[in-house]
Every structure is written in C-alpha cells, then in structure tokens.
Structure 1
C-alpha cells in the first residue's frame, strides 16, 4: 500500500494538467511490447524504427518493461508546468535535461536495484550525459511516433480536464480524488493506492498535479515522494474510452472482447475454445494478451488453469467486481463488433 498524506496547502494548490511526457513514455513502452498497447494496438513501424535511435534506445532501457512492475525514473515524466499548453512538452524536456547528476544517479540506481545496469546506461551516468540524452530521446520518439496523433489525444485529455474541473467545482476535491482509479482512495487526509510498494509519504505545501492519460491505461503511476515533482498520472476511465471509441470490441478487438465478457465465472482455455468456436491456440494467445494487460487473472484448480476477469477487466466491461450482468450490459455485448487493424 502506498499512502500519501496531503495537508491543506497541498490540497489548495492541487491542479489538473496534461502531461505529454507521460504519454510519450507510455507509448514508447507499448512499442517495446510484442503485443502493442492493450487498448490502442500496434504503435506502428515508425515507432519501432525510432527505437533504433541511440538516445531512444537509452530511454527504452530506463522504462519499466511491459507487463512488469517496477520503477521508471521520474526524470522521464517531469511535472507539467504552468503556462501555455503548446509549450508544456518542451518545458518538460528542459526539466528532464536539467536534472542534476546526483539525482540522475539516485533514480537510475533505483531503476536497477540489483546492480544489473545496462552498459550504455552506466556510461551515460558516468559521463554526465544521461539527462540530456533522455530529453533528446523523448523528443525524437515524440516526433517520429506521436506528434501526428497528439491533436486527437489532446482533445480527449482536455475534455477530461473540463469534466474533472466541473466535478471539483460542484462536489469538491475529495470527490475527484475518489473517482480517478479503482485502486486509489481518498480518506479525507491521505491518498491510499493499492500497490506492491509499502511507502508512506507526506506532501506539505506542495503542488500536486493530476494528469489524465490516454496511453497509460490501465495503470496509475505516482510521483509523490518528491514535493517539487509531485504528479499522479491516472488513466482515462475505460467506460468513457469505450463511449468515445465505439465499444469494447473496438478497444481490444472483437475476439478478445467476447472472451473477456465470458469470464463472469472462471473458465479454462478448453472451455473458452468450445464456447467461442476458436482454436485453443488462438484462445491461448488472446488470454496471454489479456493477462499481460492486467485484464484477467489466472489460477489453478487441480489439473486445470482457470482465467477470470481482474478489477481492471470488470471496469472495462462496465461493471464492478461481483456485480451481476444487467440487461443493458447484455445489449452492449451484442454490439461488440469490429477488430482493430492490428494488435488484436
């Protein structure tokens, strides 16, 4: 459990902002996965080609591998500054480049706590070029893989900012904090986040930025131990994303959508194969993608391996864990049509 105590001045300074650096880091992570993004599919050949750039490859070593837990250095995702929205990304890159050598070393050693630091990373830390090269790598990957899509992403993010600003004005900060993610809760004095980390921290008189993300889905990421760089990146809700993009079938693909919807109770690969008339290997592939995306959980019952929806999976199909299917949910299931062009 991660617990962050927030004092009154911190709550008074809390604000909402977009974080292009968080989006580009999430998209780079998706490009590193052979399965692409769990919602948006294959980042495409331009993103994969950009990974060959030496500075992008250096950043890729610092990003937590897809499907694994761990720490990604905060210097990749600086707090979005105040100012014109069009200038935010370049100012974030300037903040990354300005990270002190000592702070770079601390963050990189936290990323590789077992001492298995890649040679290229160690060399960049030792010669003092890592912060500059991180900024250059993020800028190169942005231009190659994300800049053309940014206007559409930004529109979604700004709609979310407007929604949360209205919620904050009408029902208060606590209501906003309690709505951001199923694993996050506001107690009235502290944020609690269900996490494998066991950390308790406090923000006093700090500026905390809440940054919605399209590409970080379904994960929530926090930078709450540094009062000067306090950011909480949360994914746009799966239900809202489904409304914008035309349903779960368009989000994860019709085959995976059907399998995910059928996991109201635990089922095996063989059972799903028979129920959906798909080859066992095909079902196994789709379950593997859903498992790595955190949408399903796996357990063993005697000689069978069973799969069921996780809390994120329940959120994606529009239900709370344990909630019975409704008629409207059943109607949604029948409308899940269409496979994305890739990543299905």
Structure 2
C-alpha cells in the first residue's frame, strides 16, 4: 500500500489533468498485445502496422507485460495545457531525460527479464530517451486519431465531475469516490510501502484520470511533479451516467448525448467533439429514429436536442 500524507494546504495544491502520453502508452500496449478495450475497442490494422517501425517497437519492448512497472521517464507528468501542447511538452521531457537516469529506470523495471537487443543497443549508444520520444511521437501523431477524441471527452467529463465533488465535499469526497484503491482517512494505513508528505516540499499533487492506460492504479510520488493516475472505468460513478451510457450505446453516441444538454447543430457537435461531420450526422440520425433526440429548424440551421426519453436515459443510467 502507498500512503500519501496530505497537509491542510493540499486542497489548494491538487490539480486534475489528463496525460496524452499515458493514453498513448495504453493504446500502444493494446496494439502490441492484440488486445481490445471494452469501451473503445481494438486498435485498427493501420495502427498496429506502426509497431514495425524501430522506434515504436523500442517503446513496445520498454512497456511491461503483465503487472510490471513502466520506467518513470516514459510517463512524465503533464503540464496545464491543451492536449496537443501537453503531448509536445511530455515528449520533449522524455527526449531530454538523462541517459544514465533512463538506463537505471529500465534496468529496475526489467527485474529478471532479459533486455531485448533493441533496448540493449539503445542503452549502449546512449540514444534510448531520444528514440523512445520519437517512437511515442510517431504513435501519438499517426495512431491516436482514431480513439483520443472520444477518450478525451470522457476524461474531461471525469475531471469536471471531480472538480464539482471537490467543491461540494472536499478532496476526501473525491478520493473516496473516484477509485476503490484510493481513499481518505483520518489515520494512515498500517501497511505502507511508501509515504510522502505534501507539507515537506510537494508543490502540487496531480490526479490523472486515464481511459486507455490501465487497469491498475499508477503513482509517481518522487520528484517535483508527483501524480496519481487511475482508470476511470475501473469503478462505476453513480453521479456520472456517462460510463454506463457509454457501455450501453457506444462511446460516440454517449458523447453526443452528453453534449446535447442544449440544442446544437451537427456542425457544432463536430467541432466540440472533434469528429467528422459525416460521423456525427450518421449517429444523430440513428438516435433521432430511436426516439432519443428531437429535431427542429431555425432558418437554415437544423438543431438537435434530447427528447424526454433521451433525458431520462442520460439521467437514469449509472
């Protein structure tokens, strides 16, 4: 068990964020393992073909199989920025990692597992951080378009939920609600592998929901930017119906329903969700025929909004 001792000043130093690099690592691992996510499906064939590129293959070999740890340098904390800027910053931090530090982390994470020839060569010639950054950049730019927009919608909704919980019930209410392995208590647990005290130099604690990087809780409590990352689908959220709704009708239609709290055009939905207009139009028409949406026209614009059935579905499913 890992215990974080939170000082009285902690609520002001906690920040919620999403990590593009963690999501990229999660999708890359699914592609490598030929696996499928229960919510987002499996990476496409074109995405899997990226694994044949040497630098992408190197990152695959650095990622553990089973329950092993990921080297810390591969998952830097995200800055407060847009997703694109956050990804650029994280990739730059990986690229600038001290080679000796990266080597120590790789050896520690490997345990008794022998290192591949690809990793050994990168360690020998001092190119490991740079090649890992290039491999992740390639996969982020060419392999994440199919899934990141939907994942980001769910992650933004989760962050909004956490911020609302914090406003109404404090950090304790959030930690007790977001993940079964996270909890808030007056007394520290007896069994503790690592303890860090926020009053002794921790500038802020990042709490990172993840959609694709899981299923376990991930923590990095060393350094100047410690974080806790948790999978948002690990525990149902009674106050947020999007999880159950997403499982019932699929992530794209669930995201569209979530954005129709007020009437919108398909163009507005396309821009907000970063989806192709044709994709939005198709799903909207299907949901209208199913009685979940109502259609109205104002001059040259066609608006869609939730029907009474759609509102009941969105409000009642958890």
TM-score, normalisation: structure 1 = 0.65
Q: Contact 1:3–1:200 (CA<8 Å) still a contact in 2?
A: yes
Quick one: which of 116, 119, 129 aligns to 1:118?
116
Q: How many residues align?
A: 244
CA deviations on 1:95-149 (whole Å, 9 max, x unpaired) are 1111112210121011112261212112212222111111111111112221243
Measured in 1, the distance between the counterparts of 2:152 and 2:41 equals: 19
| CA-CA distance at 1:217 after TM superposition | 4.3
Aligned to 1:279: none
CA–CA distance in structure 1, aligned partners of residues 156 and 175 of structure 2: 18
Q: Secondary structure at the match of 1:229?
A: coil
Check if 1:232 corresponds to 2:214: no
Gaps of 5+ in 1: 252-331, 333-344
Q: CA deviation at 1:172?
A: 0.3
Whether the 8 Å CA contact 2:20–2:83 is kept in 1: the answer is: no
SS in 1 for 2:147: helix
Partner deviation per Cα, 1:59-109 (whole Å, 9 max, x = no partner): 0011111xx111111111110112344311100101111111221012101
The yes-or-no answer on 1:26 pairing with 2:26 is yes
Aligned pair in 2 of structure 1 residues 9, 113: CA closer, same or farther (>3 Å)?
A: farther
Shift of 1:166: 0.9
Paired position in structure 2 for 1:107: 105
By how many angstroms is 1:220 displaced? 1.6
SS in 2 for 1:185: coil
Q: Structure 1 segments of 4 or more deviating over 6 A? A: none
Say if 2:206 is the partner of 1:209.
yes
Please tell me whether residue 219 in structure 1 is matched to residue 216 in structure 2: yes
How is 1:197-276 mapped onto 2 (pairs within 5 angstroms)? 199-203=193-197, 204-206=200-202, 207-224=204-221, 226-237=222-233, 238-239=235-236, 240=241, 242-247=243-248
Distance 2:186 2:169 in 1: 14
Alignment of 1:1-344 (within 5 A): 1-65=1-65, 68-114=66-112, 116-188=114-186, 199-203=193-197, 204-206=200-202, 207-224=204-221, 226-237=222-233, 238-239=235-236, 240=241, 242-247=243-248
Q: Is the 8 A contact 2:172 2:183 kept in 1?
A: no
Stretches of structure 2 lacking an aligned partner (at least 5 in a row): 252-312, 314-318
